[in-house]
Chain A
């Protein structure tokens, strides 16, 4: 069945350190993997995404890597800042079938000044 596992569930880092969040997916037909950031009481917002034909994508301090063979992908945040504190969700989707996203359970990131 379709399943996305996300780890860790909570992550605490010092300002300036790096943070890594990992997800694994079960459906080998998944070909699109977005990451969302959700601040307390707010809507999830897309921060970066990657397609299955790409192994890595970077946008300033944020990067995502994808290992299709192992069926896992990771979010990397460098030089963390207190405003990075939020809950982060990974997701996976079959691009040609349905279009629904299957979300991970979320990681609560806390960046301590």
Chain B
């Protein structure tokens, strides 16, 4: 495992359906982050975990969004009752927590299209 893996790469769903994305971080990284990126914008913070604990969730995240990292390894991001405004690239990243200088390693993202 040499990087952050995300699955699926692309997802097309009808409005109102639920979707779930998966992220597998770099194995020794104990911090895992979810970001959302729309065209022409920088990544927007959604939530992050240290091990299995969800330490922060963006106020921009509605109740339709939930994330888990049950065993401190992979994480899932679920969006319920999808809306067209949810269409975006969902990026996962991981990092080591005890060294402030360590940057993120991003995954390739899951591109969600809500039709």
Q: Measuring CB to CB, which residues of chain A are less than 8 angstroms from any residue of chain B? A: 4, 6, 31-32, 34, 36, 42-46, 49, 51, 89, 91, 93, 95-96, 98-106
Contacts and interface: CB of A to CB of B under 8 A. Distances in A.
Contacts, number: 63
Contacts of B70: none
Given A46-B103, A49-B103, A89-B43, A99 B97 contact: yes
B56 A95 contact: no
Interface in B37-79: 40-45, 48, 50, 55-56
A34 B105 CA distance: 12
Given A34-B103, A96-B100, A106 B41 contact: yes
Interface of B: 31, 33, 35, 40-45, 48, 50, 55-56, 91, 95, 97, 100-101, 103-109
Given A43-B106, A96-B100, A99-B31, 20 more contacts: A31-B100, A32-B100, A32-B101, A43-B91, A43-B107, A43-B108, A43-B109, A44-B91, A46-B103, A46-B104, A49-B103, A89-B43, A98-B55, A98-B56, A99-B95, A99-B97, A100-B45, A100-B56, A105-B42, A106-B42
Nearest to A32: B100
B49 to A, nearest CB: 10
Contacts of A102: 45
Contacts of B42: 4, 6, 89, 91, 103-106
A51 B55 CA distance: 23
Given A43-B109, A45-B106, A51-B100, A99 B48 contact: yes
Contacts of A36: 103, 106
